[in-house]
Every structure is written in C-alpha cells, then in structure tokens.
Chain A
Amino acid sequence: MLDYLVSIVLTAGIYAIFALGLNLQWGYAGLLNFGHVSFMALGAYTTVLLGMHGVPLPLAVLAGMLLAGASGAFLGMATLRLREDYLAIVTIGFSEIIRFLLLNWSSLTKGSFGLFGYPRPGENLVGAMDYNLFLACLVIGVLALVYALLELLARSPWGRVLKSIRDDEAVSMALGKNSFYYKVQCLALGSAIAALSGSLLAFYLQYINPNNFLPLETFYAWIMVILGGSGNNRGTILGAFLLWGFFSGTRFLEGYLSFSPSATSAARMVIIGLILIGLMMFRPQGLLGDKEELAIGR
C-alpha cells in the first residue's frame, strides 16, 4: 500500500513540477510552448551524463537547468518579437530536434539503448528498500519549493507585469515595460523548472532513453495546466493528479479489454486528444479556472 502511494506521489509529483513550469509560461504570460518536453529531456540527460562523469549531483542538476533555461531564452529571442504562433512552431520543432539528437548522438547518449546505472542522490545514505520513499519526500519538497516560488513570483511586481502583458501587451509597453525581456525571462525560468523535473524523473526511473521524451509528454502538461485552470498553480497540481488517475484507471481497465497493447495505448491517446478538443470547445477555463485569468482571451 505504501509502495503504491509512493509511486503515485513520485509520478504525479514529478509531472506536477513539469506542468508548473508550463503554467508559468502559459498561465502567467500566455506563451505557447509546444515543446516543453525538450527542456525536461535536456535536464534529465545533462544531469545523468554529468553525474556519470563524477560531477556532484546538485551541480549536475543545476547545469541541466541552466542549459534548458538558456535554450528556452534562445528560442524566445528568435520568436517572441513575432506573432505568438511562431513560438509554438519553433518549440514543437525543437522538441523533435532534441529527440533526434538524443537518438542519433550515440557516442554520448547511447541512442535508443538509453542510459542506466548512473548515480542518484543519497544512494549511500538510504538503503535500496527505502529509496523510493526517500525520493518521494524529495519530490514533495521540490514541488513545495517550486510552488512557493511561483506563488511568490505571481504576487511580485515581476508576476504582475507578466499578467499585464498577457492581458494587454500594448498597455504594459505603454507603461514602459519591455515586454520582450519579461517574456524571455519567463520562458527561461519555466524551461529550467522543466529541466528540474527531468532530473527527478531520471532519478526515479533509473533508466532513461529518448522515448521517455516524446512530443506527447508536452501535451500531458498542457492538459494538466488547462484542466486545473490556466494561471492557477494549485489547479495545475490537481490536474497532474487527475491525469495520473486517468492513466492508472485506464491501465486497470486494460485487464478487462482484449485489445492489443498498441491499440490500448492508442485508444488512450485518442481520449487525450478528445479531452484537449473538448476542453477548448466547452471549458477553456478548466475545472478550477477563473475566466478572468484566461490567456486564451474572450
């Protein structure tokens, strides 16, 4: 029972951190990041590769966050002066490129073979039996920290400027705010948070390969953010647990259906697609959302 609870906390918690990064970009600033998973992948691979070469893990995690943040900032600089859809196109492309690189740069990443046997934090202190429990506590701690930071930011002048840009960019520009730099910073910070979740995912899985980071993962985060109500951090965390419930619920049903494995997972994806369509058509503010906070305007 405890094992089960621990696995819920680990999976949903890591995805909640991942989705909080997206909520900062989309919910606060209205930025369309369709390649969020690439930053998670950058975080996971950087941490694992540096860890394998003996770099202390906190530094390795930080390096992943910096790399992801810098990549996010670069993509933002290339597109954020243009209409909002360019960021969407470029980030979706970036997430494919990163996956191609991870698959094909075999000398570094071992390609589709994946990486395993890398160091994890606190392995010497905690026994193998209790390791997941320890990691779950770490994930909760990080989640709480990220949540607190984002709530603080939302109430800070920085967060207020972001929201004003989302609601009416012309007004905030007229008040002398350089909206371009605010958006670039926001994109970088959200990407760094995604990288942090990637490092935690790598610690949890003990084995990573490029197929952990399919473009679809990005849209799980989108569903979590939109379900919970864009711009609402608590809602995003709730969304992560709801989506986790959907996955484990359908996995439970699988036992009773006689579909082939590929058809079952495809059927699950069809439902995911339909949820996105349905949310956009009938409830764009999500379950807990506030229409006033909605970046996808009225």
Chain B
Amino acid sequence: MARLEIMIEQLIANGIVYGCIIALAAIGLSLAYRILNFANFAHGEFLTLGAYFALFFAANLDLDFLPACLLAIAATAAFGVVLDLLAWKPMRSSGASRTAIMILSIGLSIAIRNGLIIFFQPDALRFPLPVSQGLDINGILVTSFQIAVVLIAFAAMLLVHSLLSRTALGKSMRALADNPNLARISGIDVDRVIRYTWAVSMGLAALAGIMFGSITHLNPNMGWSIILPMFAAAILGGIGNAYGAMAGGMIIGITQELSTAILPAEYKIAVSFLIMIAVLLFRPRGLMGGS
C-alpha cells in the first residue's frame, strides 16, 4: 500500500513540473487570445524558438547558460514585436477576419518548425548543462532542474499577476480585452499595448520552451508536440483568462501524469483531449470563466 502511495505521489510531483511548463505556455496563449482575439496555432513554435535561441546563444556567444536564457527570452519577445509589425498588424489594419489570421498562424508554425529543421537538423539536442542532481524526498525522486523549473514558473506567474493587476500596461491590456473601441477613444495606444502583449506572451513561451528543453531535450517538433495540452489547459481554465490558464495547466499536467498509473504512457496526450472535449460539452466557458 505504501508503495502505491509513493507511486501516486511521484506521479503528482512529475505532473506539477510538467504542469508548470504547460501553465506558462497556456498563459501566453490565453493572453494573446484575449487581447488579439484569435487562437494562435504558432504558439508551440514560440516555445521551440525560445529553447533553440538559448542553445544558440550559449554555444555561439560563449555565455553561461543563465544569461543565454535571459537573452533568448528577450530575443523571442523582440521577435514577437517584429512579427506584429510584419504580419499581425497589416492583417489587423486590412480588416482581415479572425479565421484568416488563424490560417496565417498555421503557416507561420509550419515555416518556423521547418526553418529550425534546416538550421539545427531534426535530431534531438541537449542544453550544455551538467547532469542534474537527484534528490530523494520521502521516497519521491526529483531532480534539481525540476525543482528549479517549479520555482521559476511560480515566480513568473507572480510577475504576470502583478503585471496584470498593478501596472498601467496591465490595466490597458484588460481595458483593450473588454472593449477595444472604448479603450481606443479613451486614449490607449492600442498598437503599443498589442506589441507588449506579444512580447509578454512570447517571452513566457520562450521561458516554457527553455524549461521543457532542460528537463527533456530539444527538437524542432517539441513545441508542436504539446500544443494540445496547451490549448486544453487554456480552455479548461476559460480561454482568455490568465489565472485560469495557470490552474488549467497544473490540472492538465497532473492528470496526464496520473493517467500513466492505469494507461500506457503513450496515451497521456489523449487525456488532454478528453478533458478538452468534456469541458467544451459541459462547461464551455471553462472552470474560471473566459471570454
């Protein structure tokens, strides 16, 4: 009996780590959905991009891993602003519909994923990190990286919370989400707020991608491979609701890991899908109410 308990606790611990990554990714997805008003199918590639930026900077600029990660997050956020100027903004101002913008995001996702295959080969790569130390907490095995992932993710979520609730930018973001026209006539620079939204959304995606890469490995498909749990988390929390995305991510992460106690591990991802369908059928606005 004790062994079963330990196994369950171990799965929950793994689920929390995985859930943190999904949650960070889902916050960015949900923010973009709320403020830009479309489901961004290229979000997975932004995770991948962040991870590969970190690898590239660490290898080619002779940086330590941490500064390389910070630079990678900044670079991904900057890429988000450039993308807005090159693609999303022209689409907005030409009055393109939401569906056209979503199809564009699919094209972007295909182009980035395969661009990375050209530059980095399709093979799995690893960050230049030492082998992480294993710790035994009452029979539950965790690595130092996993603990770092959880701590950093919670710090990032706190930061997002204070950004949304305490700063003028956060207020403008919420105003824009609630009523774009009202926000515009009350003097909010809409394009500027949108650029910041992209920067925050993609910076969080880069962080999630780096975390995902450091506890597993990097490959050009990594972000795409978790797009389903990301959307499931965002929908479960109520799409458009950043706090819901955090909770949704944790629930999805823990449920997926727990499911491996009774199902073959290959079917983990199907659990996200079932949760998503169940939420859409019975509670489409999500647990915490979305837009």
**A270: Cβ under 8 A from any B Cβ:** yes
Which of these, A86, A274, A297, contacts B280 with CB under 8 Å? A86
Please state if A280 and B277 are interface contacts (CB–CB under 8 Å): no
Inter-chain CA distance A88–B102, complex, in Å, is 9
Chain B residues with CB below 8 A from A295, complex form: 99
**B103: Cβ under 8 A from any A Cβ:** yes
Q: Quick one: CB contact mask for A61-84 with B, threshold 8 Å, 1 for yes?
A: 000000000000000001101101
Inter-chain CA distance A111–B87, complex, in Å, is 40
Question: Interface residue count for B (Cβ, 8 Å)?
Answer: 47
Chain B residues with CB below 8 A from A90, complex form: 276-277, 280
**A281: Cβ under 8 A from any B Cβ:** yes
Complex interface: stretch among A48-56, A94-102, A232-240: A94-102
Complex interface: stretch among A118-126, A129-137, A168-176, A261-269: A261-269
Which residues B95-131 have CB closer than 8 A to chain A?
Answer: 95-104, 106-115, 117-118, 121-122
Chain B residues with CB below 8 A from A280, complex form: 91, 96, 100-101, 103-104, 107
Chain A residues with CB below 8 A from B287, complex form: none
Which residues B231-262 have CB closer than 8 A to chain A?
Answer: 231-232, 235
Inter-chain CA distance A276–B264, complex, in Å, is 37
Chain A residues with CB below 8 A from B95, complex form: 298
B38, B106, B113: most-surrounded residue (chain A CB, <10 A) = B106
A32, A216, A276, A297: most-surrounded residue (chain B CB, <10 A) = A276
Q: Quick one: CB contact mask for A208-224 with B, threshold 8 Å, 1 for yes?
A: 00000000100100100
The prevalent SS among residues of A at the interface is helix
**A108: Cβ under 8 A from any B Cβ:** no
Inter-chain CA distance A94–B103, complex, in Å, is 18
Please state if A89 and B90 are interface contacts (CB–CB under 8 Å): no
Which of these, A84, A272, A277, contacts B98 with CB under 8 Å? A84
**B41: Cβ under 8 A from any A Cβ:** yes
Inter-chain CA distance A295–B232, complex, in Å, is 27
Inter-chain CA distance A79–B235, complex, in Å, is 12
Please state if A32 and B102 are interface contacts (CB–CB under 8 Å): yes
Distance in angstroms from A70 CB to nearest chain B CB is: 15
**B78: Cβ under 8 A from any A Cβ:** no
Inter-chain CA distance A99–B108, complex, in Å, is 23
Chain B residues with CB below 8 A from A272, complex form: 107, 110
Please state if B111 and A96 are interface contacts (CB–CB under 8 Å): no
The prevalent SS among residues of B at the interface is helix
When C-beta atoms are compared, the residue in chain A nearest to B90 turns out to be A281
Question: Interface residue count for A (Cβ, 8 Å)?
Answer: 45
Please state if A93 and B231 are interface contacts (CB–CB under 8 Å): yes
When C-beta atoms are compared, the residue in chain B nearest to A101 turns out to be B270
Which residues B187-232 have CB closer than 8 A to chain A?
Answer: 227-228, 231-232
Chain A residues with CB below 8 A from B270, complex form: 97, 100-101
Please state if B273 and A78 are interface contacts (CB–CB under 8 Å): no
Please state if B96 and A267 are interface contacts (CB–CB under 8 Å): no
Distance in angstroms from A163 CB to nearest chain B CB is: 16
Inter-chain CA distance A103–B109, complex, in Å, is 24
**B180: Cβ under 8 A from any A Cβ:** no
**B39: Cβ under 8 A from any A Cβ:** yes
Please state if A281 and B102 are interface contacts (CB–CB under 8 Å): no
Please state if B106 and A97 are interface contacts (CB–CB under 8 Å): no
Distance in angstroms from B33 CB to nearest chain A CB is: 8
Chain A residues with CB below 8 A from B113, complex form: 269
Which of these, A81, A100, A226, A275, contacts B267 with CB under 8 Å? A100
Inter-chain CA distance A103–B227, complex, in Å, is 19
**A34: Cβ under 8 A from any B Cβ:** yes
Please state if A269 and B269 are interface contacts (CB–CB under 8 Å): no
Which of these, B90, B99, B111, B122, contacts A84 with CB under 8 Å? B99
Please state if A262 and B269 are interface contacts (CB–CB under 8 Å): no
Sample (28) of A-B pairs whose CB atoms are under 8 Å apart: A32-B102, A81-B284, A86-B235, A88-B39, A88-B102, A89-B39, A93-B228, A93-B232, A93-B276, A96-B228, A97-B228, A100-B267, A101-B270, A266-B114, A266-B118, A266-B122, A270-B115, A273-B109, A274-B111, A276-B106, A276-B107, A277-B87, A281-B87, A281-B90, A284-B100, A295-B99, A296-B99, A296-B103
Contact surface of A with B, Cβ cutoff 8 Å:
30, 32, 34, 78-79, 81-82, 84-86, 88-90, 92-94, 96-97, 100-101, 103-104, 216, 219, 222, 226, 262-263, 266-267, 269-270, 272-277, 280-281, 284, 295-298
Contact surface of B with A, Cβ cutoff 8 Å:
38-39, 41, 87, 90-91, 95-104, 106-115, 117-118, 121-122, 227-228, 231-232, 235, 264, 266-267, 269-270, 272-273, 276-277, 280-281, 284
Given A78-B281, A269-B113, 8 more pairs with CB closer than 8 A: A79-B280, A92-B41, A93-B231, A93-B276, A219-B106, A263-B117, A284-B100, A295-B99
Q: Top 10 closest A-B pairs, CB basis?
A: A276-B107, A273-B111, A273-B110, A269-B114, A266-B117, A277-B107, A266-B114, A280-B104, A297-B97, A296-B100
